[in-house]
Chains A and B, each alone.
Chain A
Amino acid sequence: MKFGVVVFPGSNCDQDSVDVLGNILGQEVVKLWHKDHDLQQCDFIILPGGFSFGDYLRSGAIARFSPIMQEVIQFANKGGYVMGICNGFQILAEAGLVPGALLHNDHRKFNCKNIFLKPQTLDSLVTNQLGLNKALKIPVAHGEGNYFADADTLKMLNDQDQILFKYCDEAGNISLESNPNGSIQNIAGVCNKQRNVFGLMPHPERAADSLLGNQDGLGIFESILKTVDA
């Protein structure tokens, strides 16, 4: 399986994703420059974390109109797999590829810490190898991670099983106290209706290498490989 990691000016987690996919999981992976128009026959596109275009205007708003996004949007609309992590999630939301928007954290501080994450569905390419009861310890690093969707959209997300992850505590309790940014219903990640585009604020690629002492994020990448290679 061939992965493509898009690099925007200001991306800073592209190499982490490349490292996990290439060195740890042994997959073919290439970086794709945002000004290009060629997805190089990749099977799976990752929009990495960072601060594309300095977060000017709104996080992800300018990157959403980068040249390569025309191809990424076409690819997604044809059923191609796309995952956005952190800033990548913000870009996907700005592009309308996943529902909702990411607002400033309700407390207005930048979050840089480990949080706990509870998978909400196993019926997705990125969660199928996870457990519904185990809380995953994954780092977050964002100032604008407060997920918002209006009431109709929230109902749709719940009815169609599109919520991938919620913030929880170490024991797995989804509570106000375990919500790091004010996200509505503690939502940390969602997918689109067609279940081929995935967005999440936490960074599984920073929790996948045993040398870093935490591999709770690896299961997300293993889920992708398990489904696609099966």
Chain B
Amino acid sequence: MKFIAEINVMPLKEILDPQGKAVTGSMKNLDLAEIQNIRIGKHITLEIDADTEEIARQKVDTACKKLLANLIMESYEFELTAV
């Protein structure tokens, strides 16, 4: 079976996100100063062949833990869809 994983990687809450801070700062230039605390992460999609959803989930989880996210500075979550 083929699955698509949609992965979100976000900077941990306690870590300064300078990119998000800069974009938050620009909101007042759009007259949208009420928008606060923008945080910017990564959205990653991938395809995976696996016999079961559980195996696909384990493999995506391994990819996230080992490479796609650095757990010292980021957290991740993902959704898996069969195609």
Contacts and interface: CB of A to CB of B under 8 A. Distances in A.
A101 B18 contact: no
Contact of A103 (B67, B68, B73): B73
A148 interface: yes
A100 B72 CA distance: 7
A148 B15 contact: yes
Contact of A148 (B19, B22, B67, B73): B73
Give the contact-size bracket for chain A.
10 to 19
A42 interface: no
Interface in A89-113: 93-94, 100-101, 103-108
Interface stretch (A57-65, A71-79, A155-163, A168-176): A57-65
Give the contact-size bracket for chain B.
10 to 19
Contacts of B72: 93, 100-101, 148-150
Nearest to B68: A57
A182 interface: yes
A65 B68 CA distance: 12
Interface in B4-56: 15-16, 18-19, 22
A29 B31 CA distance: 59
Contacts of B73: 101, 103, 148
B62 interface: no
Interface of A: 57-58, 61-62, 65, 93-94, 100-101, 103-108, 148-150, 182
Interface of B: 15-16, 18-19, 22, 67-68, 70, 72-73
